[in-house]
Amino acid sequence: MFRRIGTAGLLLFALTACGGGDGPAGASPSGGKAASAKGGPAKAEPVPSPAPTRESEVERVLSKMSVEEKVGQLFMPVLYGTSATTVSGENQARYAARTPAKVIEKYNLGGVILFPQNVRSAGQVVALTNGMQRASKKVPLLIATDQENGQVSRMGTLMTDFPGAAAIGATKDADLSRAVAEATGEELRALGVNLDFAPVADVNVNPRNPVIGPRAFGDDPARVSKMVAAAVKGFADAKVAATAKHFPGHGDTSVDSHTGLPVIKHTRAEWERLDAPPFKAAIDAGVDAVMSAHLVFPKLDPSGDPATLSKPILTGLLREKLGFDGVVSTDALNMAGVRKKYNDGEIAVRAVLAGADLLLMPNDLPRAYRAVRAAVKSGRISQQRLDQSVSRLLTLKQARAGLSEAPVASAQRAADVLRSPEHRKLAARF
């Protein structure tokens, strides 16, 4: 923790460090005043103020935020339209605001996730992300998408057609995993996207898995770990935030959590051997975020709640056992797997209490926002707990998007980077 020191305190600190704290400024070792070149007393050199630290900048921004603004930072919904000012009946119906810009302003949103309905052309996406950033007056946005490559590629044909994780894992070449992630990150950043919900860190040990399959790097924990760690480093090379998903592991299920609630029957020892290693590798590689899974894991938490709402899993295992202190994102909160037991407001509150920081795609944003705000004001969610999440989100923004000034994407840069000859040559290696 850093403490701001006044100008007088800085001068005293500088003198003390030089051994001159007992005498007047400018005193020479002999006790007489040092002379300037013109024979007069020397003027004390001005002491420069220290550069602000990351911690102090985050604390400064946090200290100026209201409860409502802090709560808004937790949410990342889907917005409708191909520009920040597109009037959409969908926005009006869901959020009681007509345009993406108005929704961002109304809820003080921390982020937005892009889907194919937001995408028409590279120049259009650049204008959309820049417009969204301008709508966020106080704190830059996290602008995210699911660009895993392969079957989950939200940017469609705008970006280089890289293969999915299974094809990369089959090469056993971690350098290729890193190179593809870096190229993907460079293209996303050129579009104004600063957070990718990739790589998949699940170990696909169930051939009947309907939701992971080729999205995973394979069925061997050691190989998946190596590929995931390399991908995390590749995204970091491109200065785009990476997200390891879906914790504590979605690889051994025959149920799709979009439509049902999977149950993983691994023992704690099996989880440590099969599921945990890629997430540990991602954390060791410096991953920015980890996404939770909407699945029940009775041997890790017997409550019957999905991992997204489980404090023993998100806090006990991910935070305390694996030592992760970055952003914990939920998987989409409109999925059936998380909506079996609780309403949309209670789901958001329980996710925060479990240890989540980023509430992705709530089914009912107004209800979820009001529920979290009410939980903070009643003390059910403490101010300290809220500040923990907002601090993590601000720290991530500072690293990948900036805090004092939002990044601005360039249509020319996008034209140069997207589907570049270098990236197409890399894709042709598969």
pLDDT value, residue 4? 33
d(CA 302, CA 296): 8
Q: How far is 69 from 15, CA to CA, in rounded Å?
A: 42
Count of Cβ atoms closer than 10 Å to residue 223 Cβ: 17
Q: Is residue 322 part of a domain?
A: yes
Which residues of the chain fall below pLDDT 50?
1-44, 47, 49
Given 331, 344, 357, 364, the catalytic residue: 331
Residue 359 belongs to some domain of the structure = yes
CA distance 117 to 129: 14
Do the domain assignments include residue 320? yes
Is residue 70 assigned to a domain? no
- Residue 4 belongs to a domain: no
Return left, alpha or beta for 336; rule: phi > 0 is left, psi -120 to 50 is alpha, else beta.
alpha
* pLDDT, position 26: 33
**Rounded distance, CA 133 to CA 146, Å?**
19
Instruction: Assess whether 246 carries a catalytic annotation.
Output: no
Task: Give the pLDDT of residue 41.
Answer: 42
Is residue 2 in a domain? no
Helices (H), 209-364: 221-237, 268-270, 276-284, 311, 344-354
Side chain identity at 319, as an amino acid letter? R
pTM for this entry:
0.86
Residue 258 falls in the annotated catalytic set:
yes
Q: Determine the structural domain holding residue 92 and report its residue range.
A: 80-423
Per-residue confidence (pLDDT) for residue 424, from 0 to 100: 98
| CATH for 285 | 3.20.20.300
The DSSP string of 153-184 is: ETTGGGS-----HHHHHHHT-HHHHHHHHHHH
Partner residues linked to 241 by β-bridges: 195
Count of structural domains within the chain: 1
Confidence (pLDDT) at 207: 85
- What ranges make up the beta strands (E) of 251-348? 289-292, 327-329
CB neighbourhood size of 58 (10 A): 21
Taking a C-beta distance cutoff of 8 angstroms, is the pair 247, 315 a contact?
no
Which amino acid is present at 178?
A: R
The answer to whether residue 51 is domain-embedded is no
To the nearest 10°, report the CA torsion of 102, 106, 109, 112: -30
Q: DSSP letter for 115, please.
A: -
Give the CA radius of gyration of the chain.
Answer: 25
Cα–Cα distances (Å) from 340 to 122, 335, 348, 355, in that order, read 39, 9, 13, 20
Residue among 161, 173, 237, 258 flagged as catalytic: 258
Whether residue 38 lies inside any domain: the answer is no
